[in-house]
Structures are given as structure tokens and as C-alpha cells.
């Protein structure tokens, strides 16, 4: 049995849940202005239809990421799965833009604006019991609208908790912050006595 499959509850002192990063969004300004019509013509595979979306979408498989490129020179890199993969994704995009003739900013510095991670509490959770135990300002639970409980953490970020024990943490800036949110949820489930034992 490992930390994710062992029964969890007050008697289980395991310190952390194991989280897997599923998506990172990083924002960066690469230029003062970008001509998206020109870029759509010269960058192979670029997708730009201003009637559907105001930005150009560029996807790449190695390194794997997508870039949402805007006229303002701002770029959002999405689909990156590790903080260390942001710099190589940006370098690949900058090379494509340089080849397309873009006058690039001297030293674009990306910053992570959203990190999404998933994990499991290892056993089921009574969401109704948990919802009643939490402060109403921080929780949404409407099972007829959404099958999970939405918890807004004081540490920043949001946790989506499901009856199965699955959890998604979003709106954090680092894996450490996501871990704090997941640990907080685990503590709250413990305190509420909301574990479902099978």
C-alpha cells in the first residue's frame, strides 16, 4: 500500500498527498506590438481567426505547449506540465517569432499565473458532510449543477473535491502552493469526519 491507497483519516499521519501537475499557464511580454495577420501567414500551423478569438494560437509538440499570442505583444504559454519546461517552451516560441521577423523584447521573463495539479485523497469523501462543516464563504456545493465541492483556500487557489476522493487544485502559482491547498483540504476532511470508509 502507498500513501494514495492506504486508508486516510485521523489515524493516518502521512504528511502530503501526491500531486501531479496537469497544466501550467505562464504569461510573458515578447514585444511591444505584434502583427497577427502577418504572423498567421508566415508561421506554419498558426491559427488565427479574429472573429472567433482575438489571439493567434500556435501549437507545438516538442516541447509540447500552445501559445496564445496577442497584438499587445503579450503571450500566454499553456499546456506546459512542469515549471522547468516553461523556459524551453518560451525559447522555442521566441525562435519562431524571430524567424518570422518580429522585433523581440530584449529579455522576456515569463511568470507562472496558474498551476493546475491533481491528486487523490485515497478514499471517498462525503461532500455533504464536508460542505456543512466548512465556512459558507469559502465553499460551493451544488450537486445538481456540478458533481464536486469547490473550496476556496485562504492560501490562494481553489480545490475541486469529488466524492471519489479525487481532487483538482487550480489557481496556484507553484507546486508548493498547490500542496498547501491539498494539505488544507485533507485536514478539513479529517476535522469534519467526512471520510467514506468502504
Query: What are residue 131's DSSP bridge partners?
Result: none
Residues of the chain whose pLDDT is less than 50?
1-11, 13
The Cα 68–Cα 39 span in angstroms is: 12
CA distance readout (Å), 37 to 54, 55, 136, 158: 11, 10, 48, 37
**Domains of the chain (ranges plus CATH)?**
25-112 (3.30.310.10), 121-196 (3.30.310.10)
The pLDDT, as a whole number, for residue 15 is 58
The pLDDT, as a whole number, for residue 7 is 42
Q: Is there a contact between 97 and 104 (Cβ–Cβ < 8 Å)? A: yes
Q: pLDDT digits over 137-173, tens only?
A: 999 999 999 999 999 999 999 999 999 999 999 999 9
The pLDDT, as a whole number, for residue 17 is 87
The Cα 19–Cα 26 span in angstroms is: 19
Amino acid at each position: 500500500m502507498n500513501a494514495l491507497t492506504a486508508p486516510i483519516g485521523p489515524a493516518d499521519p502521512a504528511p502530503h498527498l501526491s500531486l501531479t501537475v496537469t497544466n501550467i499557464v505562464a504569461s510573458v511580454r515578447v514585444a511591444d506590438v505584434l502583427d497577427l495577420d502577418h504572423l498567421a501567414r508566415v508561421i506554419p500551423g498558426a491559427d488565427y481567426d479574429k472573429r472567433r478569438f482575438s489571439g493567434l494560437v500556435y501549437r507545438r509538440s516538442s516541447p509540447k505547449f500552445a501559445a496564445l499570442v496577442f497584438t499587445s505583444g503579450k503571450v500566454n504559454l499553456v499546456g506546459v506540465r512542469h515549471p522547468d519546461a516553461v523556459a524551453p517552451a518560451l525559447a522555442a516560441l521566441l525562435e519562431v517569432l524571430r524567424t518570422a521577423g518580429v522585433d523581440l523584447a530584449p529579455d522576456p521573463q515569463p511568470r507562472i499565473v496558474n498551476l493546475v495539479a491533481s491528486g487523490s485523497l485515497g478514499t471517498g469523501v462525503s461532500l455533504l458532510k464536508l460542505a456543512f462543516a466548512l465556512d459558507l464563504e469559502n465553499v460551493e456545493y451544488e450537486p445538481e449543477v456540478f458533481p464536486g465541492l469547490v473550496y476556496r483556500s485562504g492560501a490562494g487557489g481553489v480545490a475541486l473535491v469529488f466524492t471519489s476522493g479525487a481532487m483538482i487544485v487550480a489557481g496556484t502559482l507553484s507546486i508548493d502552493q498547490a500542496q498547501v491547498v491539498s494539505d488544507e483540504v485533507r485536514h478539513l476532511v479529517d476535522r469534519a469526519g467526512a471520510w467514506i470508509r468502504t
